[in-house]
Structure 1
């Protein structure tokens, strides 16, 4: 799964208005955190997460692990915030941030 630059641009625009749904701390990746992230990606497809980790290298390693474990794709990372995407063809249109945005702004 690889997003085009146009898709990434559109997703960054959507993500700008989102609040983080998952916060990752120094404690690392737990089963509970992965389950929460998996549910959020299934429901919303595009989610913002907060990496509450001071060290930049540790943050990058944690994000890489989350992306791999959740089978998602990092759309954007700014400081301690990351935007992740995982397509769900069966996503509820009322929950999917992608579908709701496209329906509201007209599909491209």
Structure 2
């Protein structure tokens, strides 16, 4: 579980990132979870964009991604979700 100070720090890091995944009409599937997990292992912090044609609510999508990848939800802002998961091999971000 992330503290408020850690979430603030991660939000500032994520501000300049572009979304590298998009959730569309089909919603979250197993293949997407596997790919997001691999991206989190490499980057630790990613943005996921939810397209307008997505049938699921953004909170539901965030919970599915969190439970599927084991990542922490840093922020849900607009149609973007910021996810963080500490990397096992490529640790880059030092949390305060």
Q: Give yes or no for TM over 0.5.
A: yes
Question: Which residue number corresponds to residue 31 of structure 1?
Answer: 30
Higher relative contact order (CA 8 A, sep 6+): 2
Between the two proteins, the alignment pairs up a number of residues equal to: 96
RMSD: 2.1
User: Cα deviations across residues 17-67 of structure 1 (Å, max 9, x unaligned)?
Assistant: 001111111201122211210111000111111011457962211111111
CA–CA distance in structure 2, aligned partners of residues 53 and 62 of structure 1: 13
Question: Which residue number corresponds to residue 60 of structure 1?
Answer: 59
Question: Which residue number corresponds to residue 105 of structure 1?
Answer: none
Q: Give the structure-2-normalised TM-score.
A: 0.87
Q: Which has the higher helix share?
A: 1
* Consecutive unaligned residues in structure 1, runs of 5 or more: 103-107
Q: Secondary structure at the match of 1:38?
A: helix
* Consecutive unaligned residues in structure 2, runs of 5 or more: none
Q: 1:55 to 1:24 in 2, by over 3 A?
A: closer
Larger Rg: 1
Q: Give the structure-1-normalised TM-score.
A: 0.78
